[in-house]
Amino acid sequence: MARFSEDAGKAQRFDVNLSILFTELPLLQRPAAAAAAGFTAVELWWPWIETPTPPQSELDALREALGEAGTRLVGLNFYAGQLPGPDRGALSVPGEESDRFRANIDVAADFAASVGCTALNALYGNRVEGVDPAAQDELALENLVLAARAADRIGATLLVEALNRPESPRYPLVSAPAAVEVVDKVNEATGLGNAAFLLDLYHLSMNGEDLEAVIDAYAAKSGHVQIADNPGRGAPGTGDLDLSALLLRLNERGYDGWVGLEYKPGDRPSADAFDWLPRELRAAD
């Protein structure tokens, strides 16, 4: 595996996505495993894929596990349906899924507030056969406005993410400009200015975008960054992306937020999937 640039490591603050790494362990054991690997910050997709409103006891147990491990939750998805799986969000899907997203908004925001999390990601949702895309977009904006207001209530940023067309062919936001356009619409609708772009270098590379140009254009509108190498969605150094150079470019363009490690560990335990990053660069304030 290629050695990751120490300068790039020093330029950013890293967190571990516990919904794609350490999944060989039960949810409540993952924060401690991340801490044992040297990380002090983590992020999560919505952990309860079957329900937007889990019992309070389960929320409390996750809060306790994060606290006991000494890990800070720095990013959390709103309810997004079966993820990983066929779903790619719920907020633009008419009917039950949209209702479930709305039921989740305050639950997710209140949990985020209770653990000091200040970034909430709202996946847009797939196109639905037989439904006018314009109607889905109208519903999406309504729900994103509600989510932005809930995020503002707790002092958080609302994130909007572009995915990639090969893996998510029915997801409409499959380019950086498409996602940023939605960010701008939400900010215009609310007047709050707390919506931002989630810049995922793996997804954008899968779309064939010029990553340097994306960083130059949208670093200032980015509220969170996620990385994985391509091809394979593995750790840095397992594919062809020069992630060191890209993270340095983000730093040079003024991005000083979190960089989420959202990659697959491959055929090894997750704890062994961080050899690209020196241990002294894993912990963050």
Q: Is 68 a catalytic residue?
A: no
Q: Is 161 a catalytic residue?
A: yes
Of the residues 43, 97, 209, 262, which is catalytic?
262
Of the residues 96, 161, 181, 188, which is catalytic?
161
Q: Is the distance from CB of 224 to CB of 194 less than 8 angstroms?
A: no
Count of all residues that appear for the chain in the document: 285
Q: Three-state secondary structure along the chain?
A: CCCCCHHHHHHCEEEEECCCCCCCCCHHHHHHHHHHCCCCEEEECCCCCCCCCCCHHHHHHHHHHHHHHCCEEEEEECCCCCCCCCCCECCCCCCHHHHHHHHHHHHHHHHHHHCCCCEEECCECCCCCCCCHHHHHHHHHHHHHHHHHHHHHCCCEEEEECCCCCCCCCCCCCCHHHHHHHHHHHHHHHCCCCEEEEEEHHHHHHCCCCHHHHHHHHHHHEEEEEECCCCCCCCCCCCCCCHHHHHHHHHHCCCCCEEEECCCCCCCCHHHCCCCCCHHHCCCC
Active-site positions? 161, 262
